[in-house]
Amino acid sequence: MSHLAARIVIGLSLLTCISGCQPSSNSTVPDDAVAKQTTEFDKLFAQFDDINKPGASVAVLQDGEVVFSKGYGSANLEYDIPVTPDTMFHVASVSKQFTVFAILLLAEESKLNFDDDIRQYIPEVPDFGETITLRHLASHTSGMRDQWNLLRMAGWRLDDVITTEHVLKMVAKQKELNFKPGEEFLYSNTGFTLLAEVVARVSGKSFAKFTQERLFTPLNMSNSLFYDDHQKIVSNRAYSYEPIDNGYQKSVLNYANVGATSLFTTAEDLLKWSENFTEPTVGSPSIIKQMNTLATLNNGDTFGGAYGQFISHYNGIKYIQHSGGDAGFRSYLARFPEQNLAIAILNNGADGRPWELALQIAERFLESNTPPPQNAIADAFMESMSPKQTPSAFDLSKNKLSADILNAYVGHYWNEPDAYSREIYLDKGRLMYSRGKNDVSPLAAVNENTFKMLNVEGEIFVEFTEDGEQSSMTVRVDNMDTYVSVAYMPIEVTESWLSQFAGSYYSPELSSTYHFSPDNDQLKISHYRLSDHHIAPVKGDFFRSQVGDILFERDDSGAVNGFRISNGRVRNLYFRKR
């Protein structure tokens, strides 16, 4: 429904209707109440309400009515074009739910099955010795390495023109998965690019054309399209920016691939999409149910992810959401199904945090005294914005330990399962827990060998133990997760020692070569498309670099013959020494 036809609703509704929206003729809401609520929302978005800054578009749907819709700030800083409710934004990963819906439409027509092997439709996907299903791809449980991480490691810039063909060619060269399908959840954009390609091959139409005919047109989403051509002209589109010291600079996006990203739409069109989950015009109730169902791992566990969406809880209320971020675009769409509430916020500045604003808006609509479930799992974006919990106060004077005791714990500790190091050092008589650079937390003594970590979220305790000559450090988080690290002595780095790593290393999976050379007690990394940079060993053959964590491998004689690199969504990608 257009904001021009929206009416003021009461109850949990915002009682706000602006930017052309008028109360219905039979509305009993006083004008001053409308003005008050309008002012309240303008305050929420005041940071964007400047034609000299990137902007925001926000729209709120309550009980099938758009009760608020407005644009703030600039859609184009070079021409002072303001954001309006009709401004189209690139919404990045919010695209993913449309991709899954398209797959399920074809499944409902018996043109495919959600549990089919991806190689049935895209035989170029390598045979990894494991079946990867469309369901795995749609729930980030496939084990497929992420396309963006792979491209970065291969020397691509993310403002390069990146097409679906480029992604498919890189996928075809992969030799390993991150993990066995269904064993873990690990966010992977690759899966959704493959799903969009399945839609295109099964339907015989481009993904952009299929979604236009089957989704956008029937839902009257007249300001929506999948952008599969980086040269295509789109009217009323926003451009993206990122902050710099004296203002903003352009954040260029040239994607020409779809499925994982590249939906251009408006906040109001996203509300039309949301309403289809309440009263389906496109698709059946069974599709809606499937989309909203938590995915499961091979062991039956859930992880907060559904299909193209995440299921979260706020003040005990369930909501279904997804965020998006590419270049300077930031987007968020949240649906509170039991309250008939949906909120869409779109930004074109990299400093936007629409998920925070969406929950502030939700507070004005939702009423619940129900505590959140003990096992409710929020997605990473929500957890990252949780307020820091203040740790229980410790009277350090009552648990002051001698310098001899504290010095016994000083040193470096290595966690083998997750391949990271931590340093413990003394600062003004207090032990400090260092994760590297300026990421340090003080430790307060509970007893002679147990300490509480201060200035962190949750309850974290650090315990030091010694078994013969082997010292270890155990970190316990909220009495649930335990991480054990073993003390080690950092190697003495010399140019002679570094010379064993010198040489060129090639990855056939990336068609890319890295060069290493000793340089002032560090290794210099060179790549023809990346800036040179220096790295130092963390422990033995393990180094950290700008492109990922590097673990060199040796042959039976002890000579370095290759390395494996990991960077979050790509694990153990192999480079052999030439």
Confidence of residue 372 (pLDDT cuts 50, 70, 90): very low
- Amino acid 325: pLDDT: 97
Flag whether pLDDT at 218 surpasses 70.
yes
What CATH number is given to the structural domain containing 445?
2.40.128.210
Do 449 and 513 have their domain in common? no
In a domain, 387, yes or no: no
Higher pLDDT, 190 or 370: 190
Beta bridge partners of 420: 415
Do 253 and 177 have their domain in common? yes
- Amino acid 6: pLDDT: 31
d(CA 76, CA 82): 7
Flag whether pLDDT at 576 surpasses 70.
yes
Q: What is the DSSP letter of 337?
A: G
- According to the 3-state scheme, what is the secondary structure of 514-564? EEEEECCCCEEEEECCEEEEEECEEECCEEEECCEEEEEEECCCCCEEEEE
In a domain, 354, yes or no: no
Do 102 and 250 have their domain in common? yes
In a domain, 234, yes or no: yes
Query: Each residue of 101-121: pLDDT tens digit?
Result: 999 999 999 999 999 999 999
- Amino acid 368: pLDDT: 42
Beta bridge partners of 566: 549
d(CA 175, CA 378): 33
Do 12 and 27 have their domain in common? yes
What's the total number of domains in the chain? 4
- Amino acid 438: pLDDT: 81
Flag whether pLDDT at 66 surpasses 70.
yes
Query: Each residue of 460-503: pLDDT tens digit?
Result: 999 999 887 789 999 999 877 899 999 999 888 998 999 999 99
Confidence of residue 39 (pLDDT cuts 50, 70, 90): confident
Q: Which of 175-184, 431-440, 462-471, 544-553 has the highest average model confidence (pLDDT)?
A: 175-184
User: Of 453, 488, 523, which one is at a domain's C-terminal end?
Assistant: 488
In a domain, 341, yes or no: no
d(CA 195, CA 99): 7
User: Of 87, 120, 138, which one is at a domain's C-terminal end?
Assistant: 87
Do 512 and 567 have their domain in common? yes
In a domain, 377, yes or no: no
Backbone angles phi, psi at 57, to 5 degrees: -125, 130
What CATH number is given to the structural domain containing 276?
3.40.710.10
CB atoms within 10 A of CB 370: 9
Residue type at 399?
Answer: N
- Amino acid 398: pLDDT: 59
In a domain, 374, yes or no: no
- Amino acid 469: pLDDT: 77
Do 430 and 513 have their domain in common? no
Do 438 and 330 have their domain in common? no
Query: Each residue of 419-469: pLDDT tens digit?
Result: 888 999 999 999 999 998 789 999 999 999 999 999 988 899 999 998 877
Q: What is the mean pLDDT of the chain?
A: 89
Average pLDDT over residues 252-259: 97
Confidence of residue 235 (pLDDT cuts 50, 70, 90): very high
Higher pLDDT, 572 or 417: 572
- Amino acid 296: pLDDT: 98
Tokens found for residue 95: 């695209």
- Measure Cα distances from 536 to 420, 440, 519, 549 in Å: 14, 20, 10, 11
What CATH number is given to the structural domain containing 545?
2.40.128.50
Query: Each residue of 341-368: pLDDT tens digit?
Result: 999 999 999 999 999 999 999 998 886 4
Do 8 and 151 have their domain in common? no
Average pLDDT over residues 303-329: 96
Do 64 and 169 have their domain in common? no
For residue 516, give its domain range: 495-577
Pick the closest to residue 310 from 332, 281, 280, 327 (CA basis).
332
Tell me which of 23-32, 129-138, 175-184, 397-406 is least confident: 23-32
Pick the closest to residue 330 from 527, 132, 558, 47 (CA basis).
47
Flag whether pLDDT at 293 surpasses 80.
yes
- Amino acid 370: pLDDT: 41
User: Of 36, 64, 87, which one is at a domain's C-terminal end?
Assistant: 87
Q: At what angle do helices 96-108 and 190-203 cross, to 10 degrees?
A: 40
Instruction: Please report the DSSP string for 111-179 in residue order.
Output: S--TTSBGGGT-TTS---SS--BHHHHHTT-S-PPPHHHHHHHTT--TTS-EEHHHHHHHHHT----SS
Instruction: Please report the DSSP string for 402-425 in residue order.
Output: -HHHHHTT-EEEEETTTTEEEEEE
Tell me how far apart the terminal alpha carbons of the chain are, to the nearest angstrom: 62
Higher pLDDT, 364 or 298: 298
Backbone angles phi, psi at 116, to 5 degrees: -70, 155
Do 116 and 81 have their domain in common? no
Pick the closest to residue 277 from 231, 309, 229 (CA basis).
309
Do 235 and 319 have their domain in common? yes
- Amino acid 536: pLDDT: 84
Pick the closest to residue 236 from 348, 342, 133 (CA basis).
348
Percent of the chain's residues with pLDDT above 70: 88
In a domain, 370, yes or no: no
Do 245 and 149 have their domain in common? yes
Element (H, E) at 105: helix 96-108
How buried is 228 (Cβ within 10 angstroms: 0-12 exposed, 13-18 middle, 19+ buried)?
A: buried
In a domain, 375, yes or no: no
